[in-house]
Amino acid sequence: MTRTLPYFAYSSPTILDQEKLQIFRRSWQYAGHIGMFGEDVRSIPAEVGGVPVVLTSTGQETRAFVNVCAHRGSIVCKEPSSRDSLTCPYHAWRYGLDGQLLSAPRSNREPGFDPSDHFLEELPIGRWGPFMFVAPDPSSLTFDEFLGDLPERVERAGIDVESLVFNRRVDFTLAANWKLCAENFLECYHCRVAHPRFAKAIDTDADAYLLDTSDTFSTQIGPVRDKNTIIDLSGEIERSQFHLLYPNTAINMLAGQPNLSIGPIVPESPSSTSRFLDYFFGPDVADDWIESMLAFDDQVGAEDKVLVEDMQKGLKARPQRTGVLFMDSEHLIKHFEDHLQSLVRYAEPS
CATH number for the domain including 290? 3.90.380.10
- Whether the CB-CB separation of 285 and 291 falls below 8 Å is answered with no
Structural domain contains residue 2:
no
**Shared domain check, 87 and 228:** no
Structural domain contains residue 51:
yes
Report pTM.
Answer: 0.95
Give mean pLDDT, residues 149-159.
Answer: 96
Distances (CA, A) of 58 to 68, 99, 133: 20, 12, 18
**What digits encode the pLDDT tens for the residues 316-350?**
888 889 999 999 999 999 999 999 999 999 988 76
**Shared domain check, 297 and 174:** yes
CATH number for the domain including 91? 2.102.10.10
Provide the pLDDT for residue 138: 74
**Shared domain check, 101 and 197:** no
Residues counted in the chain: 350
Domain boundary residue among 74, 101, 128?
128
Q: How many CB atoms lie within 10 A of CB 19?
A: 24
**Shared domain check, 214 and 77:** no
Structural domain contains residue 135:
no
Of the candidates 275, 112, 306, 109, the one whose C-alpha atom is nearest the C-alpha of residue 190 is: 306
Structural domain contains residue 102:
yes
pLDDT score of 197 more than 70: yes
**Shared domain check, 114 and 176:** no
> What is the torsional sign of CA 334, 148, 143, 250?
negative
Q: CA-CA distance, 63 to 198, in Å (whole number)?
A: 39
Boundaries of domain holding 33: 29-128
**Shared domain check, 324 and 248:** yes
**Shared domain check, 314 and 230:** yes
**Shared domain check, 249 and 158:** yes
Provide the pLDDT for residue 350: 67
Mean residue pLDDT across the chain: 96
Provide the pLDDT for residue 278: 98
Domain boundary residue among 86, 102, 128?
128
Domains contained in the chain, number: 2
Provide the pLDDT for residue 283: 97
**Shared domain check, 80 and 55:** yes
Provide the pLDDT for residue 126: 97
pLDDT score of 228 more than 80: no
In this prediction, what percent of the chain has a pLDDT beyond 70?
100
**What digits encode the pLDDT tens for the residues 174-186?**
999 999 999 999 9
Structural domain contains residue 326:
yes
Provide the pLDDT for residue 108: 96
Structural domain contains residue 49:
yes
Provide the pLDDT for residue 279: 98
Structural domain contains residue 276:
yes
Structural domain contains residue 24:
no
**What digits encode the pLDDT tens for the residues 32-72?**
999 999 989 999 999 999 999 999 999 889 999 999 999 99
**Shared domain check, 221 and 119:** no
Provide the pLDDT for residue 316: 86
**What digits encode the pLDDT tens for the residues 278-324?**
999 999 999 999 999 999 999 999 999 999 999 999 998 888 899 99
**Shared domain check, 333 and 196:** yes
- Whether the CB-CB separation of 231 and 294 falls below 8 Å is answered with no
**Shared domain check, 124 and 255:** no
Domain boundary residue among 94, 128, 162?
128
